[in-house]
Structures are given as structure tokens and as C-alpha cells.
Amino acid sequence: MSHYSIKHVRILAIYFLFLGIIITNILITHKNPQSNSDTADSQPQYTSDASANNNETISSAADDTSNVLPFDKGNHGNGIGGGSITGNCSAGSRNLPIYCVDIEHKKDTDTSKKYVSISFDAAWGDEDTIRILDILDKYNIKTTFFMTGGWVDSYPDKVLEIYNRGHDLGNHSHNHKEMSRLSVSEQQDEIMYVANKIKEITGYDSFLFRPPYGDYNSTLINTVYGCDFYPIEWDVDSLDWKDYGTDNIIKTVINHKSLKNGSIILMHNGAKYTADALESVITGLQSEGYEIVPISQLIITRDFHMDSNGMQIQD
């Protein structure tokens, strides 16, 4: 073969090699346009820039069909307070919120285990929120965050982050008022403002409500259920809001006289020592044999009644 022929053969070989690479890249790109598309379809992506909480982010969350409410919306008008939730919230002459749950008689539950829920009220500050979420991730624990309207408005990026990490998004009223002093329409406005904001940011239909200061009356409990929310209190107060220190929070929770199977623990994401104490609270509860679950999994969602101490009991 002549020198001229060899030179052209080499040129053709290089040409076809580059052509093959180009075609291969086109086929791969068409098949999988972005490497994280599987997770993008199942879970909205978090952005740390609050101003970037745009329609595209909200839309991806709203398309998540895994957010199935724990009650039958078709039953609306026939449940407690004219809502959709079936059960009986009255104990004697009073309507009561849920302070704890009777796990031993709960249906569809492994009653050989002990369960508690940790909850965080978010009404001021967000400095420790990511640190708290990282600690929860470390132990693969899901909890419940009760957020005021002001907190949601101030930290929409954190609301989305809490949601993306798989925690309950709870409602703590818009303005953190004493709800028992409000009219029914004012109570409804306080509840639904936060519900609508959470829905707008994440696409999530929230259904857990905690009254500010734990303040309620029978009218409020009826209103909460009428808005298709479960009213949630607590039977174990960590007292983290008093800023007594890390050790005090740990001892208060682990040694609390009311701590039991089905307890709901109150903490605050904005308290001074909560993040410092959280890991020891978790390991302390686990050492006592408790499995920590979000309140949405702890409570009985239908066909229940209350005892005089605010314990929710399966019918």
C-alpha cells in the first residue's frame, strides 16, 4: 500500500472514531437527560436560596402523589366538627386534644414495641434547624415540626428542607395567639393560613395542629377537627424553652414521670440548648427501648375516643 493510501486510511479511522463517540453521547443523553431524574420525580429538590422557591420547585412538590391524607375526604361533613375525621374527641363535657396514644390497643401496630414521638415547635429562629435535621438523619429518625405562619413566611427554604427530609409538617397557627380567646372564624383563619402556605411551598396537605401555649377550649378542638386537622398536645415537656442547659433537657425527658409507650415529647427548634441535647435524648430513649416515630404514625387516624387525661384510644 502506498504512503498516500496509509495516510488516508488513518484519517478515515480517526473520523469514524469521533463519529462513534458523538453518536453514543447523543443516545445516552436522550435516554437519561439528568442523572438524578429518578429522585427528582419522587421528591422535590431543595434549594438553599429562599428567593429561589419558585413555581418550578413548588410544582415538583405538588405533583408528589404520596401525600395521602389519613382520613376520607369523601366523608366531609360527617366527621368531628363537620370535617372528615371519624372518632369521638369528647371526654365527659369537654372536647380534648391528643396528649398521648394508647399503643397497646392500636390496630395495625406491632404492640410488642414501644413508641414515642418527638415534636419541635418552630415559632422563632432557624439557626439550629439544619443541625437538628442532620442529627435526626444520623439516627434515621422522623419527627414532627409545628410551624407558625410567621416562621413559614420567614423561612420557606427550611420548610421545604424539613419536608424533603421526610418529616411531618405541622401547623402551629399563623400568629401564635391564645386560640381559646378567638371566634370560630378567627380560629379557622389562623389554621388555614398556615395550611395554605405549607401547601403552596411543598404541595403537602398538613393535618396536625398544635395550639400555641397548649391553650384550647372545646370550641377550638371542634374547629380544628372541622378543618380536617388532629389537635396535638404533649405529655412530656422537655422544658428546653427555659434554657436550663443541655443536661437538664436530657434528664427532664428521659426521667419524665409521664414518659411511656405512646408519649408525645415537646421540644423547640429555636431553643438555646435543644440541638446540643438532641442526640443524647435520642440515644437515651432508644436505650429505654423506645422507637421514635412521627406523630402522623403514632396517632389513631379514625374510629377512636378519648379518656379524661387526653389519651387517644382505638374503638
Alpha-carbon distance of 291 to 199, in angstroms, equals 29
Mean pLDDT computed over 1-28: 51
pLDDT, residue 100, reads: 98
Q: At what angle do helices 129-138 and 156-164 cross, to 10 degrees?
A: 0
For 61-314, CATH gives 3.20.20.370
Asked whether the beta carbons of 271 and 240 are under 8 A apart, the reply is yes
pLDDT, residue 312, reads: 98
Q: Is 88 helix (H, G, I), strand (E, B) or coil?
A: coil
Domain-by-domain residue ranges, the chain? 61-314
Whether 64 has a pLDDT exceeding 50, the answer reads no
pLDDT, residue 193, reads: 98
pLDDT, residue 65, reads: 38
pLDDT, residue 73, reads: 84
Per-residue pLDDT tens over the stretch 23-61: 444 444 333 333 332 222 222 222 222 333 333 332 333
| Residue whose C-alpha cell is 389554621 | 191
Share of the chain above pLDDT 90, in %: 76
| Residue whose C-alpha cell is 405541622 | 170
pLDDT, residue 18, reads: 53
Closest CA to 164 of 70, 39, 291: 39
Catalytic: 121?
Answer: yes
C-alpha grid cell, residue 32: 437519561
Per-residue pLDDT tens over the stretch 225-277: 999 999 999 999 999 999 999 999 999 999 999 999 999 999 999 999 999 99
pLDDT, residue 10, reads: 55
Alpha-carbon distance of 6 to 12, in angstroms, equals 10
Q: Is 219 helix (H, G, I), strand (E, B) or coil?
A: helix
Mean of per-residue pLDDT scores for the chain: 85
Whether 62 has a pLDDT exceeding 50, the answer reads no
Whether 284 has a pLDDT exceeding 90, the answer reads yes
Closest CA to 91 of 315, 307, 312: 307
Q: Which of 128, 167, 268, 276 is catalytic?
A: 268
Lowest average pLDDT, out of 2-11, 74-83, 174-183, 278-287, goes to 2-11
Q: Which of 64, 121, 128, 228 is catalytic?
A: 121
Instruction: Collect all residues with Cβ–Cβ distance below 8 Å to 178 and sequence separation of at least 6.
Output: 212, 213, 215
pLDDT, residue 68, reads: 72
Per-residue pLDDT tens over the stretch 129-184: 999 999 999 999 999 999 999 999 999 999 999 999 999 999 999 999 999 999 99
pLDDT, residue 16, reads: 57
pLDDT, residue 4, reads: 45
pLDDT, residue 45, reads: 28
pLDDT, residue 185, reads: 98
